[in-house]
Copies of this chain bind each other. A is one copy, B any other.
C-alpha cells in the first residue's frame, strides 16, 4: 500500500496534464453536446489513466466538495458520482430526499436552492424530473452543474459511460454498429444523449422504436445537424424484424425509461415484448459468425426487456459499464473542478 502510494504520486504530474488537456474547468454539463469530440476523447484518455485508481484513490481533489442533489430516485448515478469524488480525494454533501428533508419541502424555488448550494459546492450533480425547470434552475448556480438525469430530455453522463465502455471493449466508437432500442423513445433520456454521442463519434446508429413514440423533434433535429452522421430510425418492428436488426450490430443499447403505472402499464408491457432481447438471437450469430453482439442496459429494471441468462455470457456489458462508470466520472469531475 505504501509503495503504491509512492508509485502513484509519481503518476500525478502526467494525470494533471491529462486533466488540463480536457480543457473543461469550471464548465457545466447539461447536454452531451456541451462537450466537443476532442473533449470527449480527452476524457476517455483521462479515464483510462484513472482506471487503476477506481478501487483505491488518487489525491487530486483534496478539499473540494461535490453536492449531489437528487429529486428522483437513483442508485447508480448518485453512488457512482459520490464514489468517483471520494476516489479523487474529495468530499461529498448529499441531498437524496429533498422533498422530505430539505428546504424544497418548504417550497423553496429551485433557483434559490441552486444559488445557495453553489456557495458550498465546487461541483453540483443534479437529478430532476422536469428538464425545463432543471435547465432554468441550473442557470442560477455559480458552481458547475452536471446533469444527472433531467426529465425526459438528456442524461449525458450515462451516455458518456456507455460510450467509454464501448470504446474500451470494442476498441473504437467510430464505425461501431449500434441499435438503440426501446418502444418508447420519447421518455428515454439516456437514449437521446447516447444517440447524439454515437452519431458525433461516427458510429452507425439505428433508433428502433414505435412510430408514435419516436424521439422528440428536438433530438431528431439535433441529430440531423451532426456532420456526417449515420443515423436512421426504424419503427414498429415485430419480434422477427427486431431479431434481424440486432443480429447485424455490435452493440444493442437498451435505454431504461420509467415504466408507466396503472392502466398504461399493461400497454407498455405489450410494447416491450416486441423489443425483448432473446439470448438465442445472440447465440445464433456467435455460433455462425463467431461474432459477439454486446448488450447493454442502463438498468435498473431488466425483467421483461431481456433474457436474464445473458448475465452470465460474454454478451453482457451492463455490469462492465458500471465498473467503467467510476473511471469516466472521475475524469469528468476532475476536469470540471480542475486538478
Contact = CB atoms under 8 A, between A and B. Distances in A.
Interface of A: 1, 53, 55-58, 62-65, 67, 70, 73-76, 79-80, 82-83, 86-87, 89, 91-98, 100-109, 112-113, 115-117, 119-122, 258, 299-303, 319, 322-323, 325-326, 339
Contact of A120 (B62, B64, B326): B326
A328 to B, nearest CB: 13
Given A62-B57, A65-B86, A106 B73 contact: yes
Nearest to A322: B119
A96 B93 contact: no
Given A103-B299, A112-B299, A120 B83 contact: yes
Most buried by B among A53, A79, A95, A322: A79
Given A1-B339, A92-B93, A109-B303, 11 more contacts: A63-B86, A65-B83, A73-B103, A75-B98, A75-B113, A75-B117, A79-B116, A82-B93, A83-B93, A97-B100, A106-B258
Given A55-B122, A112-B299, A319-B119, A103 B76 contact: yes
B108 A301 contact: yes
A87 B63 contact: yes
A308 to B, nearest CB: 9
